[in-house]
Structure formats: C-alpha cells, structure tokens
Amino acid sequence: MQSDLVRFGVAMERPLLEHFDVIVADRGVTRSELLRDLVRAEIVKAQIARGAPAVATLTLVYDHHVRELTEKLTEFQHQLGDRVRSTLHIHLDESRCLEVIVMQGRSDELKRVADRLLATRGVTHGGIEIIAAEPADHGEHAHRHGHAHGHDAPHTHGKPRKPRRTG
C-alpha cells in the first residue's frame, strides 16, 4: 500500500542516537521504521488516556481458596455485561488460577475495571493491556473487521462467551 511519506530532520544528542541505533540494529529495522512505530505507540497512549474506544486483555492470577473470590470475580464480569467479550480460565496448580478477560469499551472505563479487579483480595498478580480500537493511522498495520483480513485462513467471530463458574 502506497502512502504519502514526508521526510523531516530530527536532531538529538549523540549518546541518545547511539542508544537508538542499538535498538534499530537489535530489531533489524531502519531508523525510520522504528521512529514510526514509536510515534504510533505514543499516539495510541494519548488516545487511551482520553478515553478512546478500546479493547483490553486483563490477566489475573489468584488463589481460588480465598473465600468467595471466584464468585466475586464471576459476578463482577456478569455486571460488565457485553463489555466482557471472552474469558479464558486455567488451573495453574492446586490453589492458583489464571484468568484472561477480554473486554471492550472506553479505555478509561476498562482501566478502572482492571484496577478494581486487580485490587480484589486473593488476586496475587495481574495486569492489563489496552489497545485503542481505532488505529493511529490506516496504514499497513490497520485491521478492521468490516474489511478482508488479508489472509486465506477462515475464522469466525462468535458471540461473547459468559464466564464459567469454577470451584
């Protein structure tokens, strides 16, 4: 896909450029490619901070022996309704579970939800990855479900799955 590239000069201190070039070499890209990636990442961060439409994965590791914790997590997900798109639940060992919750909504709301769940007694580890739903640009990395996926592998987009109750 052809786009309008604009050339511009960037001035930076030599030690900073030397560190930048190490990253460029490690990734096997050009300065321009890395700079574009960094700018895209900052644009997405700014969109997320403003409460942009987003998708997120929330990962929780918790002790399922903590009284009523499993029920609390399930009830909270039910309260979120359609914002919870899917969940994955894995038993790590005899006391710990890992749960990945895929959510969709405003980025600021998703962050608040995550903070609340991560602070729940019995949750020992976790984190959230928030991705703005609208790409920073519509270049080669853009991917919208209204368009072809650009590959031959068929797949479907099912209805959201409600979390299963586990014991």
pLDDT tens track for 134-158: 654 444 444 444 444 444 444 444 4
Q: Is residue 29 part of a domain?
A: yes
CB 46 within 8 A of CB 101: no
Alpha carbon separation from 92 to 44, 113, 159 (Å, rounded): 33, 24, 27
Q: Is residue 89 part of a domain?
A: yes
Q: Is residue 8 part of a domain?
A: no
The strand ranges marked E within the chain are 53-63, 84-91, 96-106, 123-132
Do 43 and 76 share a domain, yes or no? no
Do 58 and 127 share a domain, yes or no? yes
pLDDT score of 159: 44
* Beta sheet of 84-91, edge-to-edge order: 84-91, 96-106, 53-63, 123-132
Q: Is residue 138 part of a domain?
A: no
pLDDT (tens digit, 9 = 90+) per residue, 32-84? Answer: 999 999 999 899 888 888 899 999 999 999 999 999 998 999 998 899 999 99
The dihedral through the CA atoms of 138, 140, 141, 143 has a sign that is positive
Residue from 83, 129, 122 nearest 103 by CA: 83
- CATH code where residue 127 lies: 3.30.70.1150
Q: Is residue 24 part of a domain?
A: yes
Q: Is residue 105 part of a domain?
A: yes
Do 61 and 122 share a domain, yes or no? yes
Residue from 62, 88, 84, 85 nearest 75 by CA: 84
pLDDT score of 1: 54
Domain coverage including residue 26? 14-49
Do 29 and 96 share a domain, yes or no? no
| Number of compact structural domains in the chain | 2
pTM above 0.75, yes or no: no
